[in-house]
A = this chain, B = another copy of it.
Amino acid sequence: MVEDRKLAVLRAIVEDYVATHEPVGSKTLVERHQLGVSPATVRNDMAALEEEGLIAQPHTSAGRIPTDKGYRFFVDRLTTLKQMSAAEKRAISGFLEGAHDLDDVVQRSVRLLAQLTQQVAIVQYPTLSKSTIRHVELVALSTTRLLAVLILSTGRVEQRVVEVPVELSDELLGELRVKINTAAAGERISDAAGALGALPAQVGPRSSITYSVVVAALVEAMSDHRSDERVVVGGTANLARFGDNFDQSIKPMLEALEEHVVLLKLLGHATSSSHVTVRIGHEGPIDQLSSTSVVATGYGATDDALSVLGVVGPTRMDYPGSMAAVRAVASYVSTILDES
């Protein structure tokens, strides 16, 4: 079938170009792949593919390279999701099992992902808004300052210094601690604000001011979007393999990696864990990164993802491999977080 062969040619072009980083011509194509036809035939197919905007040539007498549209087609229609080998699976779970701490899990995931894909890996911490409160601890720093420590179900620990306009006695602090914990424990962050808000009214007017100050600070700490932006990056050294066009690809990438807000925009919002999202080149939200692709997925519960992780690389990346690695790591991280 003619149409089939055209797709085979596209696949071959993508694979070859990803492997060699060089425009691929009709002759080398039939040599390296068993297409069973002559270069001339391939040339005809290539002309058709170019017509459809799936491939392009850098200059008249050069081979073809896939366009963003070509990659998109390749990812959507020509990619059979690669399975990780048993050895790889063992390596992944072994590496992640060793963690005894949320920070540890995140850090290891990022390293792992970077190593597996040989690219820049990004892991976002579990979103605050989807966690429930496990415990709130108040520690006096001085008589008018206290440190509020928020321990969440996902293992995240958030802290915030609170200035209180009145002197705090030990008893009052203890009372506060108990009241706040009974009100907030087990609640989702978003709901806790309401439950806590009711507290000041329940106590005598004498301590009600203190209550409201502390409660207000806690609520603020919880809704602080800055802490939702926690993101860890790894494998930056892999940028070195991006190629030679420094200013065009590496510099903007480094700049983006500095700005966590930008990174989050890049990753996109947490989708379901079962689905791997691929954004190719210009499809992404940032113009400077038009030759960069993002492969990401949610992790955590299958239905309602806790957060996102993924890799970032040049459009000419190994999509099947990256997708498999991202999916595998996300799934292992999910199970580990479920256990704890």
The reply to whether B244 and A258 form a contact with Cβ atoms under 8 Å apart is no
Task: Say yes or no for A161: interface residue by CB 8 A criterion.
Answer: yes
B contact residues around A240 at 8 Å (CB): 246-247, 250-251, 254-255
CB distance from A239 to the nearest CB of B (A): 6
Name A175-206 residues within 8 Å CB distance of B.
none
B contact residues around A147 at 8 Å (CB): 151, 155
Task: Say yes or no for A41: interface residue by CB 8 A criterion.
Answer: no
Expressed in whole angstroms, the Cα–Cα distance for A246 and B239 within the complex equals: 11
The reply to whether B236 and A251 form a contact with Cβ atoms under 8 Å apart is no
Task: Say yes or no for A48: interface residue by CB 8 A criterion.
Answer: no
Q: Name the contact of A258 in the complex, choosing from B100, B235, B251 (C-beta under 8 A).
A: B235
Interface class of chain A by DSSP: mixed
The size bracket of the interface on A is: 20 to 34
Task: Say yes or no for A25: interface residue by CB 8 A criterion.
Answer: no
- Given A151-B149, A246-B244, A141 contacting B237 (CB threshold 8 A): no
Task: Say yes or no for A93: interface residue by CB 8 A criterion.
Answer: no
CB distance from A165 to the nearest CB of B (A): 16
CB distance from A98 to the nearest CB of B (A): 12
B contact residues around A250 at 8 Å (CB): 240
* 12 A-B residue pairs with CB within 8 Å: A100-B161, A103-B159, A134-B141, A137-B137, A157-B157, A157-B159, A234-B258, A236-B258, A237-B254, A237-B255, A237-B257, A240-B246
Please give the residue numbers on chain A whose beta carbons come within 8 Å of chain B beta carbons, in ascending order: 100-101, 103, 134-135, 137, 139, 141, 145, 147, 149, 151, 155, 157, 159-161, 234-237, 239-240, 244, 246-247, 250-251, 254-255, 257-258, 340
